[in-house]
Amino acid sequence: FFLRESRASRRAGRSRARAREEKNPIMVVLSAAIVTKGGKALVSRQYVQMTRVRVEGLLAAFPKLVGSGKQHTYVETENVRYVYQPLECGTMYLLLVTTKGSNILEDLDVLRLLAKTLPEYTQGQVDEEGVSFAAFDLIFAFDEIISLGYKENVTMAQVKTFTEMNSHEEKLHKMMIQSKINDTKDVMRRKATEIDKVKLETKMQQSAMHRSGGYGGPSRGFGARDSFDARGGFGGQSGGFGGQQGGGFGGQGGFGDGSSGSFDDGRNDEFGYLGRGGGGSGSLGGDHPT
């Protein structure tokens, strides 16, 4: 309801402005601007067709026309009139550039209403930084006050209401954008979790391989049970040098032993000259004659 009312009021205001322009096309506001004392334009809004070069020239010429000792709120040239108001910070001017035939009283009323918008839309920070940050909001507010170079019959409360008018389509658009942003963040979190999981599994596998394949491991390595020192190795229990079983030196069945399976076994000798007597059974120099 408020949106339709604001649009209708703006259309009606523009229609009235066109009618006034047709009657007297030279009595208009050319531009509304906020400039520094050096002539730098922070915000500028044109209400008639003007080239950028002309606008910059008009705004740059204004500080040269304003004297420090003058108490007037306007200054005129051959072609235009400057209606201005110094701002509280002391380094900027709120400026209207009008034709010389415009109503000066109406221009001053417009200037006062524009001045009320500055603390409202700059959050009280009326300096170069605050004005530059709120430039677009100020331009929208200026457009509610001036239409096609003519003043609209609005109050500050109405200007604020019109500029803050909610749009259902805008809300839906913002909701869709936020939903896409949230979905993207969820996908990024899932991907990051998967990458961390893969890194952890790879690290665990590498650690397990390092423990199983190193020296002194549980199955194979120096000092293990099945090494040469155990069975069949040097000094082991079976089959090695000095072992207890098998054909090792010094073991059972070795030289000087009476057990079976050695070279001095009398029962299985192939040459027939080793007997059982003498220095023990199955040893060299036994009791059987050659």
Domain 2-168 fold is: Beta-Lactamase (3.30.450)
Collapsing DSSP states into helix, strand and coil, what is residue 237?
coil
**pLDDT at residue 263, rounded to an integer:** 44
**pLDDT at residue 83, rounded to an integer:** 92
**pLDDT at residue 289, rounded to an integer:** 44
**pLDDT at residue 255, rounded to an integer:** 44
**pLDDT at residue 17, rounded to an integer:** 54
**pLDDT at residue 34, rounded to an integer:** 94
* Residue 141: C-alpha distances to residues 48, 104, 120, 128 (Å): 17, 21, 10, 18
Q: How far apart are CA 71 and CA 86, in angstroms?
A: 11
pLDDT, tens only, 159-215 = 988 888 777 788 889 899 999 999 999 999 999 999 999 999 998 988 888 887 655
**pLDDT at residue 206, rounded to an integer:** 87
Whether the Cβ atoms of residue 39 and residue 57 lie closer than 8 Å to each other: no
Helices (H), the chain: 2-23, 52-65, 104-121, 128-133, 135-145, 156-163, 168-212
**pLDDT at residue 95, rounded to an integer:** 92
Beta bridge partners of 33: 44, 95
pLDDT, tens only, 58-85 = 998 888 888 655 656 888 888 899 999 9
* Residue 56: C-alpha distances to residues 77, 189, 239 (Å): 16, 51, 109
**pLDDT at residue 182, rounded to an integer:** 94
Q: Which residues of the chain have pLDDT under 50?
A: 1-6, 21-25, 216-290
**pLDDT at residue 45, rounded to an integer:** 93
Domain ranges of the chain: 2-168, 254-290
